[in-house]
Amino acid sequence: MTVRTLDDVFTFLRTNEPDPAAIYTALTPVYETIYATRDRADGQFETVVRSIPLDTTAVLEVGCGTGTLLARLGDAFDRTVGADVSPGMVHRTRDRTGAGVVIGSVDAFLPGSFDAVVMMGAVLGHVRPDAAARTMLNETHDRLRSGGRFVCGVHDRSALADPTSRELTAKTADYCVLQRDRQRPIGGGVFEWTVEYVLTSRETGESVSVEQRVPIRAFGRDELAEWFRAAGFRDVRTDDRTFVKEERRSRAFVITATAGPSDRAR
């Protein structure tokens, strides 16, 4: 079935044994509900526009997911393009935003195509092993024109040195959505992120739930800044992520940088 609303998610989880390969796309309405309550897309958008020049024209968002941020970027810049490795997410984002979205990653584009590349939502942390992540940084640098800007959000290794947990709640007219997640370090800068989503009908009180478990790479600031410089970036800067309002201590940071000339043989 095509999952487009919380009603669809509720029916899907009640009548199907969740397939790990399909559940990411099927839960899209849940992600959108949680993000809207937390003003997450607004915070990401404000972070991006503060970090790139006002005359920026062409912007690529890698890992565009549900398209929430991409839609905001499309309102602000002349040309916006999205990329995501999930075919389901790409089709949904195309329908929702009308933007150009491709199945894949940054390497799907020609060198020097963009004035800015945006990679929020811990996209880089999903790229493993480290050699693959560093290759992605090299490819990102090459897709930027000289002087172009890169804005990237990642989890902070120091903030996730110990197990942590939290609960987030969002309500609509028909449903209460609970996100309960736990982070547990498992070595090598990687933590296991376990998240349970509980969807409760406000009319009947019936609940359905599903759990996801994903390994994600967290980074030290100096470590990642050195990776950026090795890829050809300059003016590298890190700042706490401040737009997740329920965090008492930031668990992530935003790293920004400027692309130098692409004169290295690759």
pLDDT tens-place string over residues 11-37: 988 887 767 667 888 888 998 888 877
Residue 54's pLDDT is 84
Residue 122 belongs to domain spanning: 37-156+218-259
Question: Does residue 201 lie within any of the structural domains?
Answer: no
Residue 32's pLDDT is 85
CA distance 67 to 73: 10
Average pLDDT of the chain is 90
Question: Does residue 223 lie within any of the structural domains?
Answer: yes
pLDDT tens-digit map of 80-122: 999 999 888 888 888 888 889 999 999 999 999 999 999 998 9
CA distance 9 to 34: 14
For residue 170, pLDDT over 50 is answered with yes
Q: Which of 194, 190, 195 is nearest to 216 (CA)?
A: 190
Task: Name the 3-class secondary structure at 257.
Answer: strand
Number of domains in the chain: 1
CATH number, residue 103? 3.40.50.150
CB-based contact 94:103 (threshold 8 Å): no
Question: Does residue 163 lie within any of the structural domains?
Answer: no
For residue 247, pLDDT over 70 is answered with no
Question: Does residue 168 lie within any of the structural domains?
Answer: no
Q: Which residues pair with 170 in a beta bridge?
A: 177
Question: Does residue 179 lie within any of the structural domains?
Answer: no
pTM listed for this prediction:
0.91
Question: Does residue 227 lie within any of the structural domains?
Answer: yes
| DSSP type of residue 128 | -
Residue 266's pLDDT is 42
Tell me the average pLDDT across 197-226: 95
CB within 8 A of 210, min separation 6: which ones?
A: 13, 18, 23, 27, 196, 197
pLDDT band at 264 (very low <50, low <70, confident <90, very high): very low
Question: Does residue 224 lie within any of the structural domains?
Answer: yes
pLDDT tens-digit map of 67-79: 999 999 999 999 9
Burial 123-155 (b: 16+ CB within 10 A, else e): bbbebeeeeebeebbbbbbbbbbeebbbbbbbb
CB-based contact 35:27 (threshold 8 Å): no
CA distance 63 to 249: 25
**Structure tokens that stand for 155 in this block:** 């989890």
Residue 166's pLDDT is 87
Residue 265's pLDDT is 41
Residue 71's pLDDT is 92
Question: Does residue 170 lie within any of the structural domains?
Answer: no
For residue 126, pLDDT over 70 is answered with yes
For residue 141, pLDDT over 70 is answered with yes
> Among residues of the chain, what percentage have pLDDT more than 90?
68
Task: Name the 3-class secondary structure at 194.
Answer: strand
Tell me the average pLDDT across 143-155: 97
Query: Which H/E stretch holds residue 214?
Result: strand 207-219
Residue 131's pLDDT is 97
